[in-house]
Amino acid sequence: MINKKPDWLRVRIPAGSRYKEVRGILVKYNLNTVCDEAMCPNRGKCFQAGTATFMILGKNCTRNCRFCNVTRAAPEAVDSKEPSNVANAVKDLKLKYVVITSVTRDDLPDGGASHFAAVVNEIRRINPGTRVEVLIPDLQGDVEALKLVADVKPDVIGHNIETVPSLYSKVRPEANYNQSLKVLSNAKEMHPGGKTKSGIMVGLGETEEEVVLVLQDLRKYKCDFLTIGQYLAPSKLHVAVAEYIHPEQFEKYADIARELGFEYIASAPLVRSSYLAHEAFSTG
């Protein structure tokens, strides 16, 4: 059993007028955020800054990844008003950069890809100056479904590799490492003018060598942007934290990633895949 969280993982409780404004707009349009559903430690900071990652296609996931706090339950009906609601929320929040993600919907013929496309198109229609990043599930490796997303040309297509291959059976048993790599590879081929992005959690029992091999694999398939963050168990029912990785190790991973050629790297204990996502363009 590991010790309590170190000081560098302590975060402030969400507060402030801007936080309340964001929360009010989400309620107004009946929208979900991965910030809340995944218990992101940065949600207070991001909401206070007026940013949020919208989670479409309901709250209930058809998979049971053992690291994730999103609920596994019967999937909800797809809300035809959701594209408009997201786009109007983006307008009300005056967002110049927005991230759209979803639960995994293996129950849908295209895994929800057409709904992703509809959301992106509606955001662009109402907010023509806003950059759009999508963080998609693996769509069960369906190339035609992925093409539906790529064809609307998001600025970034993200898909998280999540962990090292040796831990997939423990952490991500219903996914496949090579299939996730193929999603990123296909996305780059289908939309070469866009950027691809992936993220990995550490502190699950992986070795440094395993992490480096994942980074090498991602670059082999021309992944552009990378996030690395500390895994934090949402509850005692989830996979336990094996180790709290020191900030210096995150800096080392960032240095290695730069040497491998990633255009943008966010690597720190509290980094999550959508955290300050706009910085990939503002610093690139």
Q: Is 202 helix (H, G, I), strand (E, B) or coil?
A: strand
Contact 135, 99 (CB under 8 A): yes
Tell me the C-alpha distance between 136 and 159, whole Å.
5
pLDDT tens string, the chain, 284 residues long: the values are 466 788 877 766 555 666 677 778 888 988 876 555 445 556 556 665 556 689 899 887 766 655 565 666 778 899 999 999 999 999 998 888 899 999 888 899 999 999 999 999 999 999 999 999 999 999 999 999 999 999 999 999 999 999 999 999 888 888 899 999 999 999 999 999 999 999 999 999 999 999 999 999 999 999 999 999 999 887 777 788 999 999 999 999 999 999 999 999 999 998 988 777 777 786 54
The domain 13-282 having CATH identifier 3.10.25.10: the answer here is: no
What pLDDT does 284 receive? 46
Nearest partner of 184 among 213, 230, 229, 215, judged by Cα: 215
What pLDDT does 194 receive? 96
What pLDDT does 211 receive? 98
DSSP 156-188: EEE---BS-GGGHHHH-TTS-HHHHHHHHHHHH
Classify burial at 87, counting beta carbons within 10 Å of its beta carbon; exposed 0-12, middle 13-18, buried 19 or more: buried
Tell me the C-alpha distance between 284 and 272, whole Å.
19
CB atoms within 10 A of CB 140: 14
pLDDT tens digits for range 186-219: 999 999 999 999 999 999 999 999 999 999 999 9
